[in-house]
Structure formats: structure tokens, C-alpha cells
């Protein structure tokens, strides 16, 4: 196998691991945040506006981590800078 095949294999495996780990962590964090928020709402219904607003801001921050992982994996699959470097090294092109 040539170097471009190895780069393709490594990029696809890395993209898969990035999506796998990058989505499991935020999913667990979001689940825990919602569970704690619902528990807080049950204990203090008067503070529902503050708790809900804080929950949505926190969920947006947690979700941004999963979006960053998705962007990195898409870059590795579709706009891989390593492939460009290897193709530039091929003589005659």
C-alpha cells in the first residue's frame, strides 16, 4: 500500500473515533444537565425562569463540543490537508 492509502485509512479511522468519543461525552453531559435541572425545578418551582435560561445556555455550550468534533471529522474526510501534501510530493504532478 502506498502512503495515500495509509493516510486515507488513518483519516477515516480518526474521523470515526472523533465522532464516537466527541458525541458520547456531550450526550452524557446533556443528560446529566437536564436531570439536575429537572430536579432543581421540582425543588424550587419559583426559580424556573432562571434555571431554564441557565440550562439552555449550558446545553448550547455542551452541544458546541459535539459540533466541533463533527467539523473536525468532516475536514478529515473531505478536505484533508494531509492528502494535499502527499499529492504535492508525487513527481510529475
The tens-digit pLDDT sequence of the chain (93 residues) is 777 788 888 889 999 999 999 999 999 999 999 999 999 999 999 999 999 999 999 999 999 999 999 999 999 888 888 777 777 777 765
- The pLDDT of residue 89: 77
Residue 92 lies in a domain: no
- CA distances (Å), origin 54, targets 26, 29, 42, 51, 57: 17, 15, 16, 5, 5
Residue 55 lies in a domain: yes
Looking at the structure of the chain, the number of domains it has is 1
Residue 61 lies in a domain: yes
Residue 93 lies in a domain: no
Residue 91 lies in a domain: no
User: The domain spanning residue 72 has which CATH number?
Assistant: 1.20.20.10
Residue 69 lies in a domain: yes
Structural domain span for residue 67: 3-24+31-85
**Residue 44 phi, psi (nearest 5):** -135, 80
- The pLDDT of residue 92: 61
Amino acid at each position: 500500500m502506498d502512503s495515500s492509502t495509509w493516510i486515507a485509512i488513518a483519516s477515516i479511522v480518526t474521523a470515526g473515533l472523533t465522532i464516537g468519543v466527541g458525541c458520547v461525552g456531550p450526550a452524557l453531559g446533556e443528560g446529566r444537565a437536564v436531570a439536575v435541572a429537572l430536579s432543581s425545578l421540582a425543588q424550587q418551582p419559583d426559580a424556573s425562569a432562571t434555571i431554564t435560561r441557565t440550562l439552555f445556555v449550558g446545553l448550547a455550550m455542551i452541544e458546541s463540543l459535539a459540533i466541533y468534533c463533527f467539523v473536525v471529522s468532516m475536514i478529515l474526510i473531505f478536505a484533508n490537508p494531509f492528502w494535499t501534501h502527499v499529492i504535492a510530493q508525487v513527481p510529475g504532478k
